[in-house]
Every structure is written in structure tokens, then in C-alpha cells.
């Protein structure tokens, strides 16, 4: 269920997102940022995680450029996070594929992220709420076409998401 669906270039996008996030983020929230910096389009989560950590965000954040959570370590990482924060609510952040008309949209959803779904991987669902940035379209083979994603675009999406989170607390 979508709580918000806003294009990152919309004039008041940060206000809209942070207002919704105020009702989601609290002292019981753990932020889990999913992705890898080995592919530009998939670096959205780790960039947001790094920005939050560098801004002294007051709640726990996992998944940064320095220590990413990705397909190869997601089971182990998520098990460790759940063990360390057994009664927490998880806010998951990830890049997502969508239709060409939705590229640049940031969505806040009630419910988990399905990491790897866009590239055909079966990975654990993560989060009671999630934030996704639509970074690319699904091509004919249901794969990312990472070569077409610009780092500047991913950086702007990440800054918008991170600032919205920071302003909501």
C-alpha cells in the first residue's frame, strides 16, 4: 500500500515525504538500506545509509557504502540486525525498477521491500515500511540496464530520501 508516491524533482518533495515519515519513524525504528555500490543503479540504499550515518541520525542505520547489505550477505546481515534489535520496526530502503513513466518517483509503502525481485532473485522480505526510488525501467529481459543510470541522478534521489528522513525526526 502506497503512503506516498512523489517525483524527486517536485518542488516540495522533501516536505511531503518527511510529513509521512513523521508517523513511521520513532525510537523503535531501525533503518536498513539495501544495495551495492558495484552498480550505480543499485547504490541508492548504501548512499542513503551513508548520508544518514554521516549526519549523526539518532536511530540505528545498517547498509552503507562502507558496509553494504546486498544479495550475497542479506540473510546473515538481516539475522544479525533482528537479533540485535528484536522488538524494532524496520524501515527498508532500496532502488527499484518500474515503468519508464515512474523513473524518479520515490515511494513510501506500508509493508516490506522485496529485494532482488526486479532482477529475478528470491531474497527475504524486509521492513514493516519501505522507501523505494525508481531508478530504471524494466527492459525486455526484466533486467536492470545499469549502464544507462547516471550517478548524479542516484545521488539526487539519495539526498532527497536522506533529507526527508532527517527532517522527519
Q: Give which of 46, 24, 25 is closest to 93, Cα–Cα.
A: 46
pLDDT, mean of residues 112-139: 86
Per residue in 100-111, pLDDT tens? Answer: 999 999 999 999
Full residue range of the structural domain in which residue 10 is found:
2-168
Q: Is pLDDT larger for residue 141 or for residue 28?
A: 28
pLDDT confidence of 123, banded at 50, 70, 90?
Answer: confident
Report whether pLDDT(131) > 90: yes
Q: By the 8 A CB rule, do 88 and 30 touch?
A: yes
Domain count, the chain: 1
Q: What sign has the CA pseudo-torsion 20, 115, 42, 30?
A: positive
Q: Give which of 133, 84, 85, 132 is closest to 112, Cα–Cα.
A: 132
Q: What is the pTM of this model?
A: 0.94
Instruction: Say what the pLDDT of residue 143 is.
Output: 55
What CATH number did the domain enclosing 128 receive?
Answer: 3.40.50.1450
E strand or H helix at 135, and its extent? strand 129-137
Q: Is pLDDT larger for residue 147 or for residue 101?
A: 101
The Cβ of residue 121 has, within 10 Å, a number of other Cβ atoms equal to 11
- CA dist 72 and 108 (Å) reads 25
- CA dist 35 and 97 (Å) reads 13
C-alpha cell at 132: 523505494
What distance, in Å, lies between the first and last C-alpha atoms of the chain?
Answer: 23
Q: Is pLDDT larger for residue 156 or for residue 123?
A: 156
Rounded percentage of the chain residues whose pLDDT exceeds 90:
80
Instruction: Say what the pLDDT of residue 72 is.
Output: 92
Q: By the 8 A CB rule, do 111 and 130 touch?
A: yes
Amino acid at each position: 500500500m502506497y503512503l506516498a508516491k512523489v517525483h524527486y524533482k517536485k518542488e516540495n518533495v522533501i516536505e511531503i515525504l518527511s510529513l509521512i515519515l513523521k508517523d513511521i519513524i520513532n525510537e523503535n525504528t531501525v533503518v536498513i538500506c539495501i544495495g551495492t555500490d558495484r552498480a550505480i543503479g543499485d547504490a541508492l540504499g548504501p548512499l542513503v545509509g551513508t548520508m544518514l550515518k554521516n549526519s549523526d541520525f539518532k536511530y540505528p542505520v545498517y547498509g552503507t557504502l562502507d558496509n553494504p547489505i546486498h544479495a550475497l550477505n542479506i540473510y546473515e546481515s538481516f539475522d544479525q540486525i533482528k537479533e540485535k534489535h528484536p522488538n524494532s520496526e524496520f524501515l527498508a530502503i532500496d532502488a527499484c525498477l518500474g515503468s519508464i513513466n515512474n523513473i524518479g518517483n520515490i515511494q513510501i509503502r506500508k509493508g516490506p521491500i522485496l529485494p532482488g525481485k526486479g532482477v529475478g532473485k528470491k531474497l527475504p522480505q524486509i521492513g514493516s515500511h519501505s522507501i523505494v526510488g525508481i531508478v530504471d525501467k524494466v527492459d525486455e529481459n526484466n533486467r536492470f540496464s545499469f549502464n544507462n543510470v547516471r550517478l548524479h541522478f542516484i545521488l539526487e534521489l539519495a539526498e532527497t530520501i536522506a533529507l526527508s528522513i532527517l527532517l522527519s525526526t
